[in-house]
Structure 1
Protein backbone atom coordinates (compact mmCIF):
# COMPACT_ATOMS: atom_id res chain seq x y z
CA UNK A 1 0.00 0.00 0.00
CA UNK A 2 1.29 3.48 -0.74
CA UNK A 3 -0.14 6.95 -0.85
CA UNK A 4 -1.60 8.04 -4.20
CA UNK A 5 -1.64 11.81 -4.06
CA UNK A 6 0.36 14.59 -2.49
CA UNK A 7 -1.32 15.47 0.77
CA UNK A 8 0.10 18.26 2.89
CA UNK A 9 1.02 15.93 5.76
CA UNK A 10 2.20 12.92 3.75
CA UNK A 11 5.86 12.00 3.93
CA UNK A 12 7.90 12.87 0.83
CA UNK A 13 8.82 10.28 -1.76
CA UNK A 14 6.76 7.15 -2.28
CA UNK A 15 6.77 5.35 1.04
CA UNK A 16 5.20 1.89 0.91
CA UNK A 17 3.97 -0.39 3.66
CA UNK A 18 2.99 -4.05 3.63
CA UNK A 19 -0.23 -5.06 5.36
CA UNK A 20 -0.69 -8.73 6.22
CA UNK A 21 -4.16 -8.37 7.74
CA UNK A 22 -6.66 -5.60 7.20
CA UNK A 23 -10.16 -4.58 7.99
CA UNK A 24 -12.18 -2.75 5.37
CA UNK A 25 -14.39 -0.27 7.17
CA UNK A 26 -18.11 -1.04 6.85
CA UNK A 27 -20.18 1.43 4.82
CA UNK A 28 -22.57 3.83 6.52
CA UNK A 29 -25.20 4.70 3.92
CA UNK A 30 -26.75 7.31 6.23
CA UNK A 31 -23.72 9.53 5.52
CA UNK A 32 -22.67 11.13 2.21
CA UNK A 33 -19.81 9.69 0.12
CA UNK A 34 -17.31 12.29 1.28
CA UNK A 35 -15.34 12.79 4.47
CA UNK A 36 -18.48 12.01 6.49
CA UNK A 37 -18.94 8.61 4.84
CA UNK A 38 -15.30 7.50 4.72
CA UNK A 39 -16.09 3.86 4.06
CA UNK A 40 -18.94 4.31 1.60
CA UNK A 41 -18.57 3.02 -1.96
CA UNK A 42 -16.68 3.73 -4.09
CA UNK A 43 -14.20 4.59 -1.32
CA UNK A 44 -12.68 1.50 0.30
CA UNK A 45 -11.28 2.51 3.67
CA UNK A 46 -8.50 0.88 5.68
CA UNK A 47 -8.11 1.37 9.40
CA UNK A 48 -4.35 1.21 9.83
CA UNK A 49 -2.51 0.67 13.08
CA UNK A 50 -0.86 3.92 14.13
CA UNK A 51 2.76 2.74 13.55
CA UNK A 52 1.91 1.83 9.93
CA UNK A 53 -0.03 5.04 9.28
CA UNK A 54 2.90 7.13 10.59
CA UNK A 55 5.18 5.54 7.96
CA UNK A 56 3.20 7.21 5.15
CA UNK A 57 1.82 10.37 6.81
CA UNK A 58 1.75 12.51 9.91
CA UNK A 59 -0.93 11.85 12.52
CA UNK A 60 -2.89 15.03 11.70
CA UNK A 61 -3.33 13.99 8.03
CA UNK A 62 -6.52 12.08 8.83
CA UNK A 63 -7.75 10.56 5.56
CA UNK A 64 -4.95 9.76 3.11
CA UNK A 65 -5.76 8.49 -0.41
CA UNK A 66 -3.74 5.33 -1.06
CA UNK A 67 -3.19 2.85 -3.86
CA UNK A 68 -3.19 -0.82 -2.95
CA UNK A 69 -3.13 -4.26 -4.52
CA UNK A 70 -3.59 -7.75 -3.22
CA UNK A 71 -0.72 -10.21 -3.41
CA UNK A 72 -0.54 -13.96 -2.93
CA UNK A 73 0.15 -14.90 0.68
CA UNK A 74 2.28 -17.85 1.66
CA UNK A 75 1.43 -18.97 5.17
CA UNK A 76 3.33 -21.28 7.47
CA UNK A 77 1.19 -24.00 8.95
CA UNK A 78 -2.40 -24.80 8.23
CA UNK A 79 -5.67 -22.92 8.27
CA UNK A 80 -6.74 -22.30 11.88
CA UNK A 81 -10.30 -22.67 13.14
CA UNK A 82 -10.95 -21.14 16.57
CA UNK A 83 -14.31 -22.08 18.03
CA UNK A 84 -16.07 -19.93 20.61
CA UNK A 85 -19.70 -19.28 21.38
CA UNK A 86 -22.39 -20.44 23.76
CA UNK A 87 -24.57 -23.52 23.98
CA UNK A 88 -27.05 -22.03 21.46
CA UNK A 89 -24.54 -20.90 18.82
CA UNK A 90 -20.95 -21.36 17.63
CA UNK A 91 -18.57 -18.64 16.50
CA UNK A 92 -15.80 -19.81 14.19
CA UNK A 93 -12.80 -17.60 13.45
CA UNK A 94 -10.96 -18.80 10.33
CA UNK A 95 -7.38 -17.49 10.10
CA UNK A 96 -3.94 -18.12 8.56
CA UNK A 97 -5.48 -18.50 5.09
CA UNK A 98 -2.95 -18.70 2.23
CA UNK A 99 -3.46 -17.46 -1.33
CA UNK A 100 -5.50 -14.29 -1.72
CA UNK A 101 -6.30 -14.55 1.98
CA UNK A 102 -10.02 -14.11 1.55
CA UNK A 103 -12.85 -16.58 1.90
CA UNK A 104 -15.81 -15.98 -0.41
CA UNK A 105 -17.93 -18.86 0.93
CA UNK A 106 -17.61 -21.20 3.90
CA UNK A 107 -19.71 -24.30 4.45
CA UNK A 108 -20.06 -26.66 7.41
CA UNK A 109 -21.18 -30.27 7.51
CA UNK A 110 -22.32 -32.16 10.56
CA UNK A 111 -22.11 -35.91 11.02
CA UNK A 112 -25.79 -36.24 10.02
CA UNK A 113 -26.32 -33.20 7.78
CA UNK A 114 -25.53 -32.01 4.30
CA UNK A 115 -23.33 -29.00 3.57
CA UNK A 116 -24.73 -25.75 5.02
CA UNK A 117 -23.52 -22.25 4.19
CA UNK A 118 -21.96 -20.48 7.16
CA UNK A 119 -23.11 -16.96 7.88
CA UNK A 120 -21.06 -14.23 9.45
CA UNK A 121 -22.72 -14.94 12.78
CA UNK A 122 -21.57 -18.54 12.94
CA UNK A 123 -23.11 -21.97 12.69
CA UNK A 124 -25.94 -23.25 14.85
CA UNK A 125 -24.79 -26.85 15.15
CA UNK A 126 -21.48 -28.49 16.01
CA UNK A 127 -19.69 -29.56 12.85
CA UNK A 128 -17.09 -32.01 11.71
CA UNK A 129 -16.07 -30.76 8.28
CA UNK A 130 -15.52 -27.35 6.70
CA UNK A 131 -15.28 -26.44 3.00
CA UNK A 132 -13.70 -23.06 2.18
CA UNK A 133 -13.96 -21.32 -1.18
CA UNK A 134 -11.43 -18.52 -1.70
CA UNK A 135 -11.64 -16.02 -4.56
CA UNK A 136 -8.55 -17.21 -6.46
CA UNK A 137 -8.10 -20.92 -5.66
CA UNK A 138 -10.16 -24.10 -5.86
CA UNK A 139 -12.11 -25.01 -2.71
CA UNK A 140 -10.38 -26.88 0.08
CA UNK A 141 -12.25 -29.31 2.31
CA UNK A 142 -10.96 -30.02 5.80
CA UNK A 143 -12.29 -33.32 7.12
CA UNK A 144 -12.70 -34.37 10.74
CA UNK A 145 -11.68 -31.00 12.16
CA UNK A 146 -13.55 -31.15 15.44
CA UNK A 147 -13.42 -34.22 17.70
CA UNK A 148 -16.54 -35.31 19.55
CA UNK A 149 -15.18 -34.01 22.88
CA UNK A 150 -14.53 -30.44 21.64
CA UNK A 151 -14.93 -27.40 23.90
CA UNK A 152 -15.32 -23.69 23.29
CA UNK A 153 -12.02 -21.83 23.04
CA UNK A 154 -10.17 -24.63 21.26
CA UNK A 155 -8.16 -24.10 18.07
CA UNK A 156 -7.93 -26.72 15.32
CA UNK A 157 -5.51 -26.61 12.38
CA UNK A 158 -5.85 -28.27 8.97
CA UNK A 159 -4.15 -28.14 5.55
CA UNK A 160 -3.82 -24.79 3.80
CA UNK A 161 -4.36 -23.70 0.20
CA UNK A 162 -1.53 -24.37 -2.23
CA UNK A 163 0.05 -21.22 -3.67
Structure 2
Protein backbone atom coordinates (compact mmCIF):
# COMPACT_ATOMS: atom_id res chain seq x y z
CA UNK A 1 0.00 0.00 0.00
CA UNK A 2 2.87 2.41 0.73
CA UNK A 3 4.30 1.79 -2.75
CA UNK A 4 0.88 2.47 -4.27
CA UNK A 5 0.64 5.75 -2.35
CA UNK A 6 4.07 6.80 -3.65
CA UNK A 7 3.09 6.09 -7.23
CA UNK A 8 -0.13 8.03 -6.74
CA UNK A 9 1.75 11.05 -5.42
CA UNK A 10 4.22 10.90 -8.32
CA UNK A 11 1.43 10.98 -10.91
CA UNK A 12 -0.97 13.34 -9.14
CA UNK A 13 0.50 16.57 -10.48
CA UNK A 14 0.45 15.27 -14.04
CA UNK A 15 -3.14 14.10 -13.63
CA UNK A 16 -4.16 17.49 -12.30
CA UNK A 17 -2.55 19.26 -15.26
CA UNK A 18 -4.21 16.90 -17.70
CA UNK A 19 -7.62 17.62 -16.19
CA UNK A 20 -7.08 21.38 -16.35
CA UNK A 21 -5.87 21.30 -19.95
CA UNK A 22 -8.58 19.01 -21.30
CA UNK A 23 -10.20 20.10 -24.56
CA UNK A 24 -13.89 20.79 -24.92
CA UNK A 25 -15.81 17.91 -26.47
CA UNK A 26 -19.06 17.81 -28.40
CA UNK A 27 -22.18 16.10 -27.11
CA UNK A 28 -25.92 16.56 -26.71
CA UNK A 29 -28.22 17.25 -23.78
CA UNK A 30 -31.83 16.65 -22.79
CA UNK A 31 -33.53 17.03 -19.41
CA UNK A 32 -35.67 14.91 -17.12
CA UNK A 33 -37.72 15.51 -14.00
CA UNK A 34 -39.63 18.64 -13.14
CA UNK A 35 -38.71 22.28 -12.55
CA UNK A 36 -37.72 21.67 -8.92
CA UNK A 37 -35.36 18.79 -9.78
CA UNK A 38 -36.96 16.47 -7.23
CA UNK A 39 -37.42 13.65 -9.75
CA UNK A 40 -33.65 13.36 -10.14
CA UNK A 41 -33.20 12.07 -6.57
CA UNK A 42 -31.78 8.56 -6.25
CA UNK A 43 -30.21 7.11 -9.37
CA UNK A 44 -27.56 4.68 -10.52
CA UNK A 45 -24.77 6.15 -8.37
CA UNK A 46 -26.69 5.22 -5.20
CA UNK A 47 -26.52 8.67 -3.60
CA UNK A 48 -30.20 8.65 -2.58
CA UNK A 49 -31.31 12.11 -1.50
CA UNK A 50 -28.96 14.34 -3.48
CA UNK A 51 -29.27 17.21 -1.01
CA UNK A 52 -28.17 14.98 1.89
CA UNK A 53 -25.32 13.55 -0.21
CA UNK A 54 -24.01 17.01 -1.12
CA UNK A 55 -25.03 17.25 -4.79
CA UNK A 56 -28.31 19.19 -4.92
CA UNK A 57 -30.29 19.53 -8.15
CA UNK A 58 -27.59 20.74 -10.54
CA UNK A 59 -26.95 17.21 -11.71
CA UNK A 60 -27.10 14.97 -14.76
CA UNK A 61 -27.52 11.37 -15.83
CA UNK A 62 -24.68 10.35 -18.15
CA UNK A 63 -24.93 8.15 -21.22
CA UNK A 64 -23.17 4.80 -20.93
CA UNK A 65 -20.18 6.17 -22.86
CA UNK A 66 -19.57 8.77 -20.14
CA UNK A 67 -20.88 6.82 -17.12
CA UNK A 68 -18.25 4.08 -17.46
CA UNK A 69 -20.05 1.55 -15.25
CA UNK A 70 -20.17 4.02 -12.37
CA UNK A 71 -16.54 5.15 -12.46
CA UNK A 72 -17.72 8.69 -13.33
CA UNK A 73 -20.13 8.99 -10.39
CA UNK A 74 -19.59 12.34 -8.66
CA UNK A 75 -17.55 13.94 -11.43
CA UNK A 76 -18.29 17.52 -12.47
CA UNK A 77 -18.81 18.81 -15.99
CA UNK A 78 -19.17 22.34 -17.28
CA UNK A 79 -21.62 22.35 -20.19
CA UNK A 80 -22.44 25.06 -22.73
CA UNK A 81 -25.00 25.01 -25.52
CA UNK A 82 -23.30 24.96 -28.94
CA UNK A 83 -24.98 27.56 -31.15
CA UNK A 84 -22.86 26.59 -34.18
CA UNK A 85 -24.55 23.19 -34.67
CA UNK A 86 -28.07 22.17 -35.77
CA UNK A 87 -30.44 22.93 -32.90
CA UNK A 88 -28.24 25.78 -31.72
CA UNK A 89 -31.07 28.26 -32.22
CA UNK A 90 -32.41 26.97 -28.90
CA UNK A 91 -29.26 27.93 -27.00
CA UNK A 92 -29.09 30.67 -24.41
CA UNK A 93 -25.95 32.44 -25.69
CA UNK A 94 -23.06 33.12 -23.37
CA UNK A 95 -24.24 30.73 -20.65
CA UNK A 96 -22.82 27.59 -19.09
CA UNK A 97 -23.63 25.38 -16.11
CA UNK A 98 -21.60 22.94 -14.01
CA UNK A 99 -23.35 19.69 -13.07
CA UNK A 100 -22.50 16.63 -11.00
CA UNK A 101 -22.82 13.12 -12.43
CA UNK A 102 -25.36 11.31 -10.25
CA UNK A 103 -27.19 8.88 -12.54
CA UNK A 104 -27.05 6.74 -15.68
CA UNK A 105 -28.99 7.52 -18.85
CA UNK A 106 -29.39 4.04 -20.35
CA UNK A 107 -29.68 3.30 -24.05
CA UNK A 108 -33.21 2.80 -25.34
CA UNK A 109 -32.99 0.17 -28.06
CA UNK A 110 -36.63 0.72 -29.01
CA UNK A 111 -35.20 3.82 -30.75
CA UNK A 112 -32.70 3.92 -33.64
CA UNK A 113 -29.13 3.43 -32.40
CA UNK A 114 -30.34 3.30 -28.80
CA UNK A 115 -31.62 6.88 -28.72
CA UNK A 116 -29.70 9.88 -27.39
CA UNK A 117 -27.96 7.74 -24.76
CA UNK A 118 -27.11 4.94 -27.17
CA UNK A 119 -23.65 3.38 -27.56
CA UNK A 120 -20.86 5.79 -28.41
CA UNK A 121 -22.90 8.93 -27.78
CA UNK A 122 -21.68 11.44 -25.17
CA UNK A 123 -24.99 12.69 -23.77
CA UNK A 124 -26.18 14.46 -20.63
CA UNK A 125 -29.77 13.97 -19.43
CA UNK A 126 -29.76 16.95 -17.09
CA UNK A 127 -32.08 18.08 -14.34
CA UNK A 128 -34.51 20.64 -15.69
CA UNK A 129 -33.12 23.47 -13.47
CA UNK A 130 -29.60 22.82 -14.81
CA UNK A 131 -30.69 22.39 -18.44
CA UNK A 132 -32.69 25.62 -18.49
CA UNK A 133 -29.54 27.58 -17.64
CA UNK A 134 -28.29 26.89 -21.17
CA UNK A 135 -31.28 25.88 -23.32
CA UNK A 136 -34.80 26.98 -24.19
CA UNK A 137 -37.43 24.69 -22.63
CA UNK A 138 -39.39 23.95 -25.83
CA UNK A 139 -36.30 22.54 -27.58
CA UNK A 140 -36.15 19.27 -25.64
CA UNK A 141 -32.65 18.47 -26.93
CA UNK A 142 -29.70 20.77 -27.66
CA UNK A 143 -26.14 20.39 -28.99
CA UNK A 144 -23.52 21.07 -26.31
CA UNK A 145 -19.82 21.27 -25.65
CA UNK A 146 -18.57 19.96 -22.31
CA UNK A 147 -15.45 19.66 -20.20
CA UNK A 148 -14.72 17.77 -17.00
CA UNK A 149 -13.78 20.27 -14.27
CA UNK A 150 -12.71 20.31 -10.64
CA UNK A 151 -15.62 19.81 -8.23
CA UNK A 152 -16.28 22.25 -5.39
CA UNK A 153 -18.18 20.78 -2.42
CA UNK A 154 -19.42 22.05 0.91
CA UNK A 155 -18.01 20.13 3.89
CA UNK A 156 -16.16 16.84 3.94
CA UNK A 157 -16.44 13.42 2.34
CA UNK A 158 -19.37 11.30 3.56
CA UNK A 159 -19.63 7.54 4.06
CA UNK A 160 -23.07 5.90 4.04
CA UNK A 161 -23.17 2.33 5.37
CA UNK A 162 -25.49 -0.43 4.12
CA UNK A 163 -25.30 -4.23 3.97
CA UNK A 164 -25.37 -6.84 6.76
CA UNK A 165 -22.98 -8.51 9.19
CA UNK A 166 -20.41 -9.90 6.75
CA UNK A 167 -21.11 -7.63 3.78
CA UNK A 168 -20.52 -3.90 4.00
CA UNK A 169 -21.68 -1.61 1.20
CA UNK A 170 -20.22 1.88 1.54
CA UNK A 171 -21.56 4.73 -0.57
CA UNK A 172 -18.80 7.37 -0.81
CA UNK A 173 -20.24 10.84 -1.32
CA UNK A 174 -19.48 14.56 -1.65
CA UNK A 175 -15.97 14.33 -3.09
CA UNK A 176 -14.35 17.56 -4.23
CA UNK A 177 -11.47 17.65 -6.72
CA UNK A 178 -11.93 15.07 -9.45
CA UNK A 179 -15.17 14.04 -7.71
CA UNK A 180 -14.97 10.29 -8.23
CA UNK A 181 -13.43 7.33 -6.41
CA UNK A 182 -10.60 5.37 -8.00
CA UNK A 183 -9.86 3.01 -5.09
CA UNK A 184 -11.05 2.60 -1.50
CA UNK A 185 -10.07 0.77 1.70
CA UNK A 186 -11.73 0.17 5.06
CA UNK A 187 -10.15 -0.58 8.44
CA UNK A 188 -11.71 -1.76 11.70
CA UNK A 189 -10.29 -1.14 15.17
CA UNK A 190 -8.93 -4.70 15.13
CA UNK A 191 -7.94 -5.09 11.48
CA UNK A 192 -5.46 -3.78 8.98
CA UNK A 193 -6.50 -2.00 5.80
CA UNK A 194 -8.93 -4.06 3.68
CA UNK A 195 -9.22 -3.11 0.01
CA UNK A 196 -12.79 -2.64 -1.19
CA UNK A 197 -14.14 -3.17 -4.70
CA UNK A 198 -16.81 -1.28 -6.61
CA UNK A 199 -20.18 -2.99 -6.35
CA UNK A 200 -22.29 -0.53 -8.37
CA UNK A 201 -22.28 3.22 -8.89
CA UNK A 202 -20.51 4.91 -5.99
CA UNK A 203 -21.03 1.87 -3.73
CA UNK A 204 -17.92 0.01 -2.60
CA UNK A 205 -18.06 -3.40 -0.90
CA UNK A 206 -16.06 -5.25 1.75
CA UNK A 207 -16.74 -8.90 2.56
CA UNK A 208 -15.70 -8.51 6.17
CA UNK A 209 -17.28 -8.81 9.61
CA UNK A 210 -16.69 -5.34 11.06
CA UNK A 211 -19.85 -4.90 13.13
CA UNK A 212 -18.97 -3.59 16.59
CA UNK A 213 -15.69 -2.03 15.48
CA UNK A 214 -14.92 1.61 14.86
CA UNK A 215 -14.19 2.23 11.18
CA UNK A 216 -11.63 4.22 9.21
CA UNK A 217 -11.51 4.68 5.46
CA UNK A 218 -8.89 5.48 2.83
CA UNK A 219 -9.77 6.77 -0.61
CA UNK A 220 -7.84 7.54 -3.78
CA UNK A 221 -9.69 9.75 -6.24
CA UNK A 222 -9.55 9.25 -9.99
CA UNK A 223 -7.44 12.42 -9.95
CA UNK A 224 -4.80 10.58 -7.90
CA UNK A 225 -5.12 12.15 -4.43
CA UNK A 226 -5.00 9.78 -1.45
CA UNK A 227 -6.52 10.59 1.96
CA UNK A 228 -7.00 8.49 5.09
CA UNK A 229 -10.17 9.25 7.03
CA UNK A 230 -9.29 7.91 10.46
CA UNK A 231 -11.80 6.97 13.18
CA UNK A 232 -14.74 8.29 11.17
CA UNK A 233 -17.30 5.78 12.45
CA UNK A 234 -17.77 4.89 16.15
CA UNK A 235 -17.99 1.27 17.25
CA UNK A 236 -21.75 1.60 17.88
CA UNK A 237 -22.59 2.44 14.25
CA UNK A 238 -25.70 1.04 12.58
CA UNK A 239 -26.58 0.10 9.02
CA UNK A 240 -28.39 2.89 7.20
CA UNK A 241 -26.40 5.69 8.83
CA UNK A 242 -24.15 8.24 7.12
CA UNK A 243 -20.98 9.64 8.68
CA UNK A 244 -19.47 12.98 7.67
CA UNK A 245 -15.80 13.93 7.81
CA UNK A 246 -14.04 17.30 7.86
CA UNK A 247 -11.59 16.32 5.08
CA UNK A 248 -11.98 16.61 1.33
CA UNK A 249 -9.98 16.42 -1.87
CA UNK A 250 -8.27 19.02 -4.05
CA UNK A 251 -7.74 16.94 -7.20
Q: TM > 0.5 between the two? A: yes
Q: Please point out which of 78, 84, 94 is paired with 1:14.
A: 94
Matched, 1:123 2:203: no
Moved more, 122-131 or 66-75: 122-131
Deviation, 1:81, is: 0.9
Question: What's the CA shift for 1:48?
Answer: 1.0
Q: Paired residue for 2:228?
A: 141
Secondary structure in 1 matching 2:93: coil
Taking a change above 3 Å as real, the CA distance of residues 26 and 104 of structure 1, as seen in their structure-2 partners, is farther
Q: Which has the higher helix share?
A: 2
Which of 117, 121, 141 in structure 2 is aligned with 1:39?
A: 117
Give per-residue Cα distances to partners, 1:72-129, cap 9 Å, x unaligned.
Answer: 2333321111223445643322112111111122222343354222322433333722
Structure 2 CA distance, aligned partners of 1:77 and 1:8?
37
Mean Cα deviation higher: 95-104 or 64-73 = 64-73
Aligned 8 A contact 1:23 1:47 in 2: no
Change (3 A) 1:58 1:12: closer
CA–CA distance in 2 between the matches of 1:27 and 1:74?
27
- Structure number with higher strand proportion: 2
Residues 83 and 99 from structure 1, CA distance in 2 versus in 1: closer, same or farther, beyond 3 angstroms? same
SS in 2 for 1:51: helix
Hey, what does 2:151 align to over in structure 1?
Answer: 73
- Is residue 16–residue 56 contact of structure 1 (8 Å, CA) maintained in 2? yes
Larger mean CA deviation between 135-144 and 109-118 belongs to 109-118
Return closer, same or farther for 1:129/1:118 CA change in 2, 3 Å cut-off: farther
The residue number in structure 2 matching 1:98 is: 176
2:132 partner SS: helix
Q: Which moved more, 1:51-60 or 1:83-92?
A: 83-92
- Contact 1:75/1:96 (8 A) holds in 2: yes
The count of corresponding residues between Structure 1 and Structure 2 is: 161
Query: Which is worse superposed, 106-115 or 146-155?
Result: 106-115
TM normalised by structure 2 equals 0.53
Gaps of 5+ in 2: 1-78
- Which consecutive unaligned segments of at least 5 residues does structure 1 have? none
Structure-1-length-normalised TM-score: 0.77
1:92–1:114 CA distance, 2 compared to 1 (3 A) = closer
